[in-house]
Chain A
Amino acid sequence: MLQENINNENNKTLKTKIFRYKYFIFILRLIIGVIFIYASFGKIIAPNDFAIAIKNYDMLPYSLINIPAIIIPYLEFFAGIFLIFGKFKIGSSFLIGLMLIFFLIGLIQAYARGLDINCGCFSLDNPNSSSDILLRIFEDILMLIAIILIFLYSYKEKLLAQKNG
């Protein structure tokens, strides 16, 4: 009887824990999703400005800058949408994680080389661009941590679902 009670208690705490996590992860998904959708708008409307921002990072040959300038904004948009609505959570969080890692590499190398650039992160016409690279690196790392949590949670959730059903 006592043992049963303890088991029940354990189950309850486990459930509330998962329950709590669920909401925490949902809020994270909402935040990251909204940020990515918001960040994609300016770039979708003006791909040329984004192409110039990519060129200024000096990481790609000039002939190849337009393709990511066309595709990345839409990838941000759809990954954000799917993340919010909970469809393809694993894929979209994985892709957002990859993008954040690429952005981080770009930002860090630009900062290290002292490139005076517009980061191309959100608004494409920020004149005081070079000074806020450190802030962007910090934001990128925060988002990366959040998206890793989302990814791991979604992946585990999927594994659990597969086991149970």
Chain B
Amino acid sequence: MKAILKESLIVIIIAIIFAFFGNILNPKGISLFPDETRYKIDSTNNNIDYSKVWNDPYDTVNNKVAVLSGGEMTKEGYIKPQNINLTQAKTLFDINGLFIDGRKKEEFEKGHIKGAINIPYEEFMKLTVDQRKEMMRKYNKNGVIVCYCDGGGCDVSVDLGYELAKIGFNSVNIYLGGYSEWKSKGYPVEEK
């Protein structure tokens, strides 16, 4: 019994020491505690008047600033995506924001928010950073983007939103209510 505890403890301590330093040295290392606000509605963004915003998601020539996302610059050097509610999502829909559906292709084809494009998160993550940039080249870096998925417990909208922000999109919004909430309110959808 003693041997089990002793040997286990040695292995654990070695692993923890290497994990700690390995994580610091790893360029993709993560902080010990994650950002709690990542999956919650941000209460501080309510003062942004989305209705006065002009937007053209395909204007890559001027890359005009459509809306200041209001998200702060992160340590990693990208503008933090904002989590938004249904009302805000509808306003961004009305000003021609680019809706991106992060779900799988089959789910997207069954039904999605009207005009949304499909970027399955898992497929997106298989690409290299350069391939991701190339794929997103046709979109305005400063245009309003709204990522969503099913709503409820799904997180691909959030995870995809952060990946888009990391490759230089400055106004990424994440609509946590997702497709199910949107559809239940009778807002425009496209269904098979």
Contacts and interface: CB of A to CB of B under 8 A. Distances in A.
Interface string B126-147: 1000000000000000000000
Interface residues of B, number: 37
A91 B155 contact: no
B70 to A, nearest CB: 23
A86 to B, nearest CB: 12
Contacts of B4: 90-91, 94, 155
Contacts of B39: 62
Task: Give the secondary structure class of B's interface.
Answer: helix
Interface string B4-34: 1011111110111011101100101111111
B18 A78 contact: yes
Contact of B33 (A49, A66, A71, A91): A66
Contacts of B159: 52
Given A56-B155, A118-B122, A127-B122, A71 B15 contact: yes
Nearest to B14: A78
B29 to A, nearest CB: 7
21 contacts: A46-B28, A47-B30, A62-B38, A62-B39, A70-B19, A70-B29, A70-B32, A71-B15, A74-B18, A74-B19, A75-B12, A78-B18, A79-B15, A88-B11, A90-B4, A90-B7, A91-B8, A91-B9, A91-B10, A95-B12, A127-B123
Interface string A46-60: 111101100110100
A125 B122 contact: yes
A79 B11 contact: yes
A92 B7 CA distance: 7
Given A66-B31, A78-B14, A95 B8 contact: yes
B3 interface: yes
Task: Give the secondary structure class of A's interface.
Answer: helix
Nearest to A128: B122
A89 B7 CA distance: 8
Contacts of B16: 71, 74
Contact of B19 (A71, A94, A125): A71
B125 interface: yes
